[in-house]
A and B are shown apart, each in its own frame.
Chain A
Amino acid sequence: MAGLVLKGIAKSFGPVEVLRGIDLEVANGEFVVFVGPSGCGKSTLLRVIAGLEEVTSGTILIDGQDVTAERAAERGLAMVFQSYALYPHMSVYRNIAFALENMRLPREEIEARVRRAATMLRLTDYLDRKPGALSGGQRQRVAIGRAVVRDPKIFLFDEPLSNLDAELRVATRKELAGLHAEIGGTMIYVTHDQVEAMTLANRIVVLNKGRIEQVGTPLELYNRPANLFVAGFIGSPRMNLISGRVGPDGHFEMPGGALAQSGPFLPAGLAPGAEITLGIRPEHVLPAGGEAPDAILTVDLVEQLGSESYLYGTLPGGAALTLRSPLEDPARRGESLPVRFERHRLHVFDAAGLALRP
């Protein structure tokens, strides 16, 4: 177990800059998830930490020691690959024992460690099988076992659940959370699935175009996104973002009309006429009921999930809006629904996309 410090990590493949100055500290025992859209550099960052890619510039410290120049084998990290990368010609036992044999541990110790890992991951019955004879979930557990058995300083996971079906993914996600609770190692986990990120992480690192957009606990990112990118990326369905400007009376003006009484909830110091974007999550848009509505939503699509429903619709000005309702059948397609925005849940972003706090 160890902490990790990244200082100014940059990585280019020829003229293509993949990582542009990443600074990050990961504490001992922390579960950190890198999340971001495809091509944001999250996998490259993980490979840089692993030592499988060399940095163009920057420093990597593990436990306070500079390991930037060290090769992957010397860093003492373990990695679980997206493809699992099990050695197809070796039995499960030999797959798990391979690293220990390379570390020249005594035979009894290898045996004991492999058995312990196999018991923990419920692989005891499959130790003599080849990877080809295992199901996807079992292969996944072998890949994790291969990492766990080494007792590494840091665990690295590169989208380990992306090849599993939905049900197995949820189950394995829980197992991973349980694993972290049990062995308590420092874990760095890459995924593009924000549900995995929200459920597993102590802290989430949101990456976009080779830069860190925001680092924080899952709820920090959810409740206080630092910018438009994070606001749009975290949360499903995504946050409603409505472009507009500050009206002469200090209230928010959207294309279809002003949002009454919104002035006090906008950050202070916004000049009238300033371009801003208002964000509000679907669960914070409510049917107006008896109160005065903020807008009239024309419902375009209703998604009924049983426990809740999502309404997708359009505001009079043309802006799209999503609303979550706890009702099974809140509205029909084509209906007009008066809605109200929860004022204290409003997010405000300036023209550059940065969050403004009241």
Chain B
Amino acid sequence: MSRVNTSRALLLLRQARRPGRLGWTDILAYGYLALGVVLMFGPVLWLVLSSLKTPAALLEFPPSFLPLTQKTISVPGHAQPLELHRVRLPDGSVKELAQVRRIGIQATMIDPASPGGPVIRVPIEAREPVREVAFAWSNYTEPLKQFAFGRYFANSLVVTIVATLITLLINSMAAYALAIYEFRGRNAALLMVIGTLMIPITIVLVPVFLVVTQLGLNNSLWAVILPGAATPTGVFLLRQYMLTLPRDLIEAARMDKASEWQIYSRIVMPLTLPALAVLAIFSIMWRWNEFLWPLAVLTKSEVYTLQIGLNAFQGELQTQWHYLLAMTVMTLAPVALVFVFLQRFITTGIANTGMK
């Protein structure tokens, strides 16, 4: 199975315009694609690797790509593990020695191979720390213990799922009305819906906040779920898709005595599934990553969503970057998984529309 996949991947990588020959266009194409991969995945990889660095390694300059730490060694006769350094000795030889202490520009070293041996004094510029790759998993385990990750995660999950379901329902009904149901003023309604696309959230933030406060929804998850449930983008996306459904199907359903609700629920909705899947992915990503609005209406930590919770690591005076990065990775993972599982729906249409 895995061998088959490997050979297929190799086959994919060996694709060229003319089979068996790598022309300059192929090289350009692969170079462009490689650049794209670096641009897309570079920051994510950087984030993941950085999330495994100790605070000291994070502040290091120049930064290292891999999470590196000073290698230490336990030497009999010393209670603490000692830092291991590579030292250039006066005779020109290079040796790995453990540092006992350092005073000023002088370091006192000891050979870990012979702990009872003589103490060696070297100037600090003659030594270089020995480093090894070490993952600071504590960046993950510590905040999971202290930080209420589980609660924030659950809140985010509730907001995302409930809001996405409501969004799909409301948007598809609106799209049905604007695409299929015939009524006076349909185009005017469509223009108004699309017009709201041009109003950024920052403009309506205060009025919506006032409405939510009047309704007494502050500090409840509904305050995050409800205001954004109907999205003009979603309505427009679904409407455009529904317009491509064959008109005959709708008319056949009308002849078959189906009510508008039945046409919507039994004919149009199943046929709109590809577009619904796309909207679901968008909605999940929007809702999961939403920051500004939840920050405005959620002030108690028990209703925080993950994004607001992460904000807690960012203090006025200092930021706990190692925790922030680790929890950001934790926050990204679910959306990435959703995308991996749902993305095939984006490309899958309904192969056969049943016409002709």
> Which residues of A approach B to under 8 Å, CB–CB?
50-52, 71-73, 77-79, 81-89, 98-99, 102-103, 130-132, 136, 139, 146, 150, 163
Contact = CB atoms under 8 A, between A and B. Distances in A.
Contacts of A84: 354-356
A103 B257 contact: yes
A88 B353 contact: yes
A84 B356 CA distance: 7
Interface in B309-356: 350-356
Nearest to A139: B354
Given A82-B248, A89-B350, 19 more contacts: A71-B254, A72-B251, A77-B255, A78-B255, A79-B251, A79-B252, A79-B255, A81-B252, A83-B355, A86-B354, A87-B253, A87-B354, A88-B271, A88-B352, A98-B258, A102-B259, A130-B354, A132-B354, A163-B356
Contact of A88 (B255, B262, B266, B354): B354
Contacts of B42: none
Contacts of B257: 73, 99, 102-103
20 contacts: A73-B254, A73-B255, A73-B256, A73-B259, A79-B251, A81-B248, A81-B251, A83-B355, A85-B251, A87-B249, A89-B350, A98-B256, A98-B258, A98-B266, A99-B258, A102-B258, A131-B352, A132-B354, A139-B354, A146-B252
B267 interface: yes
**Which among B249, B256, B351, B353 has the greatest number of chain A C-beta atoms within 10 A?**
B256
Nearest to A88: B354
A77 B257 CA distance: 9
B246 interface: yes
B270 interface: yes
Nearest to A52: B251
Nearest to B354: A88
Interface residues on B, range: 20 to 34
B49 to A, nearest CB: 46
B350 A99 contact: no
A88 B350 contact: yes
A102 B251 CA distance: 14
Given A73-B258, A89-B271, A98-B256, A132 B251 contact: no
Contacts, number: 82
A249 B270 CA distance: 76
Contacts of A163: 356
A72 B254 contact: yes
Contact of B249 (A50, A51, A85): A85
A130 B351 CA distance: 12
Interface in B229-268: 246, 248-249, 251-259, 262, 266-267
A99 B355 CA distance: 19
Nearest to B352: A132
Given A81-B248, A102-B262, A131-B352, A87 B267 contact: yes
B350 A83 contact: no
A15 B24 CA distance: 60
A102 B248 CA distance: 18
Contacts of A130: 352, 354
B258 to A, nearest CB: 5
A20 to B, nearest CB: 24
A132 B252 CA distance: 17
B267 A72 contact: no
B186 to A, nearest CB: 16
**Which among B252, B262, B267 has the greatest number of chain A C-beta atoms within 10 A?**
B252
Nearest to B249: A85
A52 B252 CA distance: 10
A131 B255 contact: no
B354 A72 contact: no
A52 B249 CA distance: 12
B356 to A, nearest CB: 5
Nearest to B355: A83
A83 B352 CA distance: 13
Interface in B254-292: 254-259, 262, 266-267, 270-271
Interface string B121-138: 000000000000000000
Nearest to A95: B354
B251 A131 contact: no
Counting from the closest, the 4 A-B pairs by CB-CB distance are A88-B354, A132-B352, A99-B256, A85-B248
Given A132-B352, A132-B354, A85 B252 contact: yes
Contacts of B270: 89
B269 to A, nearest CB: 10
A132 B351 contact: yes
A102 B256 contact: yes
A79 B252 CA distance: 7
Contacts of B350: 88-89
B355 A85 contact: yes
A166 to B, nearest CB: 17
Contact of A83 (B248, B256, B259): B248
